[in-house]
């Protein structure tokens, strides 16, 4: 029996015996399990590559830092060019674009491509994370399962959110933070109908993780230091610092990309990027790969092991040299990550954000403890809270930041300082930067879904769905008689576009414009279309205007019909009545 026949039988059984609600629950459980498998797989592949490189290295790892990133980027380049033939995409932005403009449809190739490119990039020293690629692969699994079972767009969006939640829950073993991440980043509605599938997916993914890796966790630190009121000012300072660092993180990301645009070929980007990463890794070894070991060493209070072997080993007995090196990690983690992406590597930004935040939090605590004012704070707690501050600022996801750090460390005692630092960081960053690394380009394209229902409905609408093309076209040189016989007499419309020989729009004519003269036969040959035409109040540009912009143009002009220009020529008209009807229909579909 073929797979298609099996699917058909399952669909028949599903329609007969399983309600829509229960079917979504079952799919959420399945997607959670598969998301857990994806996360475990991508981790094991990466660890396997790192283990192989450790055992193959004849000289110290620092000595081969110059070449490893180049090799990794080169392997990704060869795979992309000759095998996949699909360019590397950023994980979460590509998913968000799919949700807003492609009805959540993801190619099957997106299932396995992140499982190959991301481990190669990170395993060979690329300063990136694996969480983003794990989410991308799991989301592609979810999208294709949804298509297989003929799930509608809204449910498909929810199930992709389940996949993202499952991937996070599996990697961090933090189901609550995973649910909040899906709601904050994917702009899912917080209703019982969406909350329960997210919970089922998160729990099933966590169980999958437990099955394969046992009770081992990423971070072994348990919070024992209670919050003290006298430390409030320090947490505010940390919040301000992580807010500024978050702005820096985003700015440097786009600056590095802009710098690499000057290189015309992928080969040039690869070589320059690989060597730049190699140099940074030689002087700052913790920039290598994801960086979970670095975070754990800081949490254990072992900053010497966290820093690894550096050219500054002879000076590490001086705490201010240690602080300077940690500041270097804070600064260059963003540079190394952005360079890895710009040079052609694949990976995610969430875990590099955590590494940067942990270094900054540890720096602030060390300065407080060693500045000579008699204060003593927990360096481990500040390390954790620094991670939360960066996550909140860089991702604009404050609740995710609070619950993620609290869950993965058992640090619920830190709720108050987490809220203080996270809120400060988020407020500072949100006021300075409207959109995150994930959403900036999407917002510029008008392809970003948000929690604003009106905005999201406009984003989901397609211009093609409201363009009307049954208008009779006129030409400027046509006489009034020709216009009446060839245009007005044969059209049910009272609006006529006027174009030149290249089909470029030069004006419009309304029936009202010629009503007074249309029966005056003495003007049939002596006047032309050009006499009566006028410019429309505004044009809609197919390639660049978002639906939000289209709606604004109608509002600003008060027009009932506006012409659409595509590739520089006349394409059709959009009417206000059809636009509003389509909007109401989409709003009903979106909210029910």
Find all residues with CB under 8 Å of 16, minimum gap 6, and list them. Answer: none
Gyration radius of the chain's alpha carbons: 29
Tokens of 230: 């006298």
HSE on the CB side for 40, CA within 13 Å?
A: 19
Chunk the chain into consecutive blocks of 10 residues (it has 592) and report each block's average pLDDT, rounded to whole numbers. 70 76 90 94 90 65 68 90 84 84 86 92 87 93 90 88 93 89 81 84 91 69 73 94 95 93 86 86 83 87 83 82 92 93 90 94 94 88 94 93 85 84 95 85 67 65 85 88 83 87 89 80 82 89 85 87 92 88 74 56
CA–CA distance, 181 with 396 (Å, rounded to integer): 10
Tokens of 42: 């991508």
Tokens of 128: 């990136």
Distances (CA, A) of 226 to 155, 359, 398, 530: 43, 21, 22, 81
Closest CA to 351 of 275, 414, 292: 292
Do residues 498 and 508 make contact, with C-beta atoms less than 8 angstroms apart?
A: yes
Phi-psi sector, 493: left (phi>0), alpha (psi -120 to 50), beta: beta
**Domain limits, the chain:** 3-213, 229-446, 455-591
Matching fold, domains 3-213 and 455-591: no
Closest CA to 579 of 559, 553, 551: 551
CA–CA distance, 111 with 93 (Å, rounded to integer): 16
CA–CA distance, 109 with 383 (Å, rounded to integer): 38
Phi-psi sector, 420: left (phi>0), alpha (psi -120 to 50), beta: alpha
The CATH classification number of 455-591 equals 3.10.580.10
Top CATH class of 3-213 equals mainly alpha
User: Which segments within 365-503 are labelled E, that is strand?
Assistant: 467-468, 495-499
Do residues 175 and 28 make contact, with C-beta atoms less than 8 angstroms apart?
A: no
Angle made by CA atoms 228, 233, 236, in degrees to the nearest 5: 110
Tokens of 146: 């949804």
Q: Which residue shows structure tokens 């036969």?
A: 521
Handedness of CA 553, 559, 564, 570 (dihedral sign): negative
Tokens of 98: 């799919």
- pTM of the complete model: 0.81
CA–CA distance, 122 with 15 (Å, rounded to integer): 45
CA–centroid distance for 217 within its chain? 26
Other C-beta atoms within 10 Å of 96: how many?
22
pLDDT at 585: 77
Closest CA to 209 of 171, 180, 181, 178: 171
Q: DSSP secondary-structure letter at 167?
A: H
CA–CA distance, 591 with 189 (Å, rounded to integer): 9
Q: What is the 3-state secondary structure (H, E, C) of 341-400?
A: HHCCCCCECHHHHHHHHHHHHHHHHHHHHHCCCCCCCCHHHHHHHHHHHHHHHHHCCHHH
pLDDT at 332: 93
pLDDT at 59: 46
- The yes or no reply on domain 229-446 and CATH 1.10.3470.10 is no
């Amino acid at each position: 029996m073929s797979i298609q026949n099996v699917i058909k039988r399952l669909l028949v059984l599903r329609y007969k015996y399983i309600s829509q609600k229960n079917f979504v629950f079952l799919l959420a459980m399945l997607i959670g399990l598969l998301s857990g498998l994806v996360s475990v797989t991508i981790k094991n592949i990466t660890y396997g590559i790192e283990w192989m490189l450790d055992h193959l290295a004849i000289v110290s790892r620092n000595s081969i830092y110059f070449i490893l990133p180049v090799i990794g980027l080169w392997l990704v380049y060869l795979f992309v060019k000759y095998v996949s033939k699909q360019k590397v995409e950023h994980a979460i932005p590509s998913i968000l674009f799919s949700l807003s403009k492609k009805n959540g449809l993801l190619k099957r190739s997106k299932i396995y491509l992140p499982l190959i490119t991301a481990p190669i990039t990170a395993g060979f020293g690329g300063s990136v994370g694996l969480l983003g690629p794990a989410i991308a692969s799991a989301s592609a699994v979810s999208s294709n399962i949804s298509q297989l079972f003929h799930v509608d767009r809204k449910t498909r969006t929810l199930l992709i959110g389940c996949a993202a939640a499952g991937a996070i829950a599996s990697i961090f073993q933090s189901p609550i933070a995973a649910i909040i991440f899906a709601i904050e980043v994917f702009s899912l509605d917080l209703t019982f109908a969406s909350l329960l599938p997210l919970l089922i997916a998160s729990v099933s993914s966590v169980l999958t993780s437990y099955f394969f890796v046992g009770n081992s966790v990423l971070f072994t630190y348990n919070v024992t230091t209670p919050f003290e009121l006298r430390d409030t000012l320090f947490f505010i300072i940390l919040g301000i610092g992580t807010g500024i660092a978050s702005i820096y993180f985003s700015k440097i990301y786009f600056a590095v990309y802009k710098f690499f645009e000057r290189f015309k070929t992928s080969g040039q980007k690869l070589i320059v990027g690989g060597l730049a990463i190699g140099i940074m890794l030689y002087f700052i070894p913790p920039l290598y790969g994801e960086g979970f070991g670095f975070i754990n060493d800081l949490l254990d209070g072992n900053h010497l092991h966290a820093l690894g072997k550096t050219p500054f080993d002879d000076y590490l007995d001086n705490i201010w040299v240690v602080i300077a090196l940690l500041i270097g990690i804070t600064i260059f983690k963003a540079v190394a990550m952005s360079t890895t992406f710009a040079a052609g590597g694949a990976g995610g930004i969430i875990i590099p954000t955590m590494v940067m935040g942990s270094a900054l939090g540890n720096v602030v605590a060390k300065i407080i403890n060693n500045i000579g004012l008699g204060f003593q704070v927990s360096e481990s707690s500040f390390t954790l809270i620094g991670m939360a501050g960066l996550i909140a600022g860089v991702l604009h996801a404050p609740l995710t930041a609070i619950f993620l750090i609290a869950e993965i460390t058992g640090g619920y005692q830190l709720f108050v300082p987490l809220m203080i630092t996270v809120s400060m960081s988020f407020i500072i960053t949100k006021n300075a930067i409207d959109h995150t690394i994930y959403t900036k380009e999407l917002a510029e394209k008008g392809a970003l879904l948000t929690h604003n229902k009106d905005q999201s409905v406009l984003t989901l609408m397609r211009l093609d769905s409201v363009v009307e093309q049954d208008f009779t076209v006129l030409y400027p040189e046509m006489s009034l008689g020709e216009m009446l016989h060839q245009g007005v007499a044969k059209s049910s419309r009272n609006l006529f576009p006027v174009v030149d020989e290249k089909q470029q729009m030069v004006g419009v004519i309304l029936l009202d414009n010629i009503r007074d003269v249309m029966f005056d036969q003495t003007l049939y040959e002596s006047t032309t279309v050009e006499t009566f035409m006028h410019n429309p109040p505004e044009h809609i540009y197919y390639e660049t205007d978002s639906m939000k912009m289209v709606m604004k143009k109608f509002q600003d002009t008060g027009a009932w019909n506006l012409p659409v220009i595509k590739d520089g020529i006349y394409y059709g008209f959009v009417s206000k009545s059809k636009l509003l009807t389509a909007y109401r229909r989409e709003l009903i579909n979106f909210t029910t």
